[in-house]
Structure 1
Amino acid sequence: MQTELAFSADDLALTRFAVSPMWEVVTSFRLLASGIAHPVHRRWLEQVRPRVAEAGLDAGLLAGVIPADGYLCDFLTPFPEEPSPSLEDELDAIRATPEAMVAADLGKLGRRVPDSGRGRWLDLVAEEIETYWEIALAPYWAKIRTVLDAEVFHRARQVAERGAGHLFNDLHGTVSWDDSTLRLVRRRCVVSRDGGVGSGLLLVPSVFASCVLTWKQPPAPPQLAYPARGAGALWERQPVPQEAAIAAVLGRSRTRLLTELDAPASTTELAGRTGISAAGVSQHLAALRGAGMVSAHRAGRSVLYARTAVAESLLAAAA
């Protein structure tokens, strides 16, 4: 099957990019639900699967609306009004979804709006999304966001240097551009402009998407989510930096903790790895968090600490 999307000059002028937390939620949750040992995301899966199971999310409301394959409910990925909306912005949009849209989306999955009512049910879905975000994506968001921002920068440069045609032809193997028409092959979901041409197109890179995904909800422009470049190196272990140079500024213990946070970890885990007492680890992490180098994320009974973009840049410069 092939879908064709015609472009006018106005459509090209209105084509833009966005980084969406909710697209990462649905694509990563689908990967978890598939049960496969993905070669690229294996390290992430091994770390996150036990937390998701402990939180009961593998059998909750999200599991019912994000199947391992097939249709994805459009209301879970609302059209982002900003280039980089926050998760809170997108959850507000989900909570405000009209009942008719929720009913239509659930109907495609063979489900219906629960008797408790749309509003209460959407609140519960949003709560599960917040829990999932905190244990599965927030600790890794600095790394994920770096890849997504680099992808958007690369594509913007492509357009500036070689034009929109080259951008679309290079986006994914199932996407091609010819004669002002975008063609998507092997698409089960048709993406179209019900209101005619001139509404543009929103391109959303995703580190967890394995194929091109489409979204349409007129009068909003269609969305096209696609696999981002650089995702293959996302979970690779980084070269050990020259710790002595950083330690001269931060101290040996805090530098060691930063390097150990190649993957998010709890105070107990860090104490076991480094030999620093749990109390000492907590003290150092508090100082690093105050300096914007570490973030904290609740995961059940534990708190996971993760490096921020500031710390990632510092270690990369010293590597």
Structure 2
Amino acid sequence: MFEFRFGVDDLATTWFAYSPLQEAVLSLRARSGTTTYPEQQPWIARWQPAYRTLDTTLLEALVTPRRWVPDFLTPRPPGPHPDFAAELAVLAATDLRTVRADVLAAYAGDGSPPPPVLRTLLDDPATLLARVVDVLHAYWTRCLAPAWWPRARSVLEADIAHRGRILSEHGAEALFADLDHRLSWRGGVLRLHDPDPTVQALGTTIEVAGRGMVLMPTLFALGAQTDITQGGPPLLTYPARGKATMAENLSAVPVPASPLANLIGAPRARLLTLLTAPASTTELAHRLGVTPGAVNRHLTALTAAGLLTRTRHGRSVLYTRTPLGTSLTTAG
């Protein structure tokens, strides 16, 4: 068990972030976990032609059989909404001793030897790091950035907006209880119970001591996890709320009640029904299979009518139903 002891001011310096680099690295887990991450499988099928053009042997070696990854691949994000290129530059500057040590530690914790491609490169960590940076850049550019990341970013930003409201309206205990069942909060102490015996053996008590904590949603975790090996504030990742919506398409969108469609039109009624959680124009366009411009016109009209509110979060504008909008979707 991990215990994080918070001082009086530590919650005030706790902040949320997401990491495109972390999501890219952890997305490799979904290739071997077809039943674990079912919402990602349609995306993986779409990427397959581009993925086959990459150094797939090295990419797949970055995830152990039990889906652990070397810690150096997921450095602390430099801010709440980092750019992938900026994070990749941080990765490229990793101390070479850390690269080698983290690869060996990941496979040792997994209980399996590194595959041949890594064993060959471990004695030349500079070449290993350069190849890893290059292949992750190619993977991001060819597979993730065009369509998957805009959708994923919307889900992550919607999660953070929701958690911020929980914290402001109900306090820390409600926030941590809502993040994951592995977490509990009592008397200024946050406890993380991980079912993995290997992780349990690493359990310790951490004094937050004025550093705050970084809370990071991810699409590729089955429960809350921590990383206390890097410098800076303690880091806690947790499963993003709404990650299942990554698999949604037009056929999965609920058909609005006829009275609502008759009142405001079928496209706007569908959007209003769909907004059970905050979402951006880009995410809604992907989920509906239409252009962002078409969605934006309807969102503008619904906002002007008092049925939605809009809030800027990072690079996205998130739309949320107002109480009036919610009452209309449930009235029929």
| Shorter-chain TM-score above 0.5 | yes
User: 2:168 and 2:176 mapped to 1: Cα distance?
Assistant: 13
Matches within 5 A, 1:111-190: 111=114, 114=121, 117-138=124-145, 139-185=147-193, 186-187=195-196, 188-189=198-199, 190=202
For 2:187 and 2:207, locate their aligned partners in 1 and report how far apart those are by CA, in whole Å.
Answer: 21
**Which residue does the alignment assign to 2:245?**
233
The 1:105/1:116 distance shift into structure 2, 3 A limit, reads closer
1:58 matched to 2:56? The reply is yes
Q: 1:9 to 1:316 in 2, by over 3 A?
A: farther
Task: Using structure 2 for the length normalisation, give the TM-score.
Answer: 0.68
Q: Tell me, which stretches of 5 or more residues in structure 1 are unaligned?
A: 244-257, 264-305
Distance of 1:159 and 1:148 partners within structure 2: 17
Task: Pick which of 147-156 and 179-188 moved more.
Answer: 179-188
Where structure 2 has 5 or more consecutive residues not aligned to the other structure, the ranges are: 108-112, 256-264, 268-281, 303-332
Once the two structures are overlaid, the 10-residue window that deviates more, 133-142 or 234-243, is: 234-243
Q: Which residue in the other structure is 1:284 paired with?
A: none
TM-score (norm 1): 0.70
Q: Contact 1:144–1:234 (CA<8 Å) still a contact in 2?
A: yes
Compute the displacement of 1:229 (Å): 0.8
- 1:313 to partner: Cα distance: 4.4
In the TM superposition, 1:65-104 aligns within 5 A as 65-104=62-101
SS of corresponding position for 2:209: coil
Which stretch shifts more, 37-46 or 178-187?
Answer: 37-46
Cα distance between partner residues in 1 of 2:120 and 2:228: 21
**Partners of 1:193 and 1:221 within 8 A in 2:** no
Counterpart of 1:302 in structure 2 is none
In structure 1, C-alpha distance between the alignment counterparts of 2:72 and 2:290, rounded to whole Å: 32
Identity over the aligned pairs, expressed in percent?
32
- Would the aligned equivalents of 2:6 and 2:208 in 1 still touch at CA under 8 Å? no
Between the aligned partners of 1:89 and 1:198, the Cα distance in structure 2 is 26
How far is 1:87 from its partner? 0.7
Asked if 1:209 corresponds to 2:215, the answer is no
CA contact (8 A) 1:33 1:58 kept: no
TM-aligned CA deviation for residue 129 of structure 1: 0.6
Q: Are the aligned partners of 1:206 and 1:225 in contact in 2 as well (CA < 8 Å)?
A: yes
Question: In 2, distance between residues paired with 1:135 and 1:178?
Answer: 45
One-letter amino acid matched to 1:15 = T
Q: What is the one-letter code of the residue matched to 1:235?
A: A
Q: Does 1:314 align with 2:296?
A: yes
Return the alpha-carbon distance in structure 2 between the equivalents of residues 96 and 219 of structure 1. Answer: 15
| 8 Å contact from structure 2 (residues 5, 206) kept in 1 | no
Q: 1:115 to 1:215 in 2, by over 3 A?
A: closer
Q: Is the Cα–Cα contact under 8 Å of residues 202 and 224 in structure 1 kept in the other structure?
A: yes
Q: Is the 8 A contact 1:5 1:193 kept in 2?
A: yes
Cα distance change of structure 1 residues 97 and 311 upon mapping to structure 2, 3 Å threshold: farther
Distance 1:145 1:164 in 2: 25
Structure 1 range deviating more: 188-197 or 96-105: 188-197
Distance 2:132 2:143 in 1: 16
Shift of the 106–113 alpha-carbon distance from structure 1 to 2, 3 Å rule, reads farther
Alignment root-mean-square deviation, CA = 3.1
Change over 3 Å in CA distance of 1:32–1:70 after alignment to 2: closer
311 and 18 in structure 1: CA distance in 2 versus 1, 3 angstrom threshold:
farther
1:9 match: secondary structure: coil
Count of residues paired in the alignment? 257
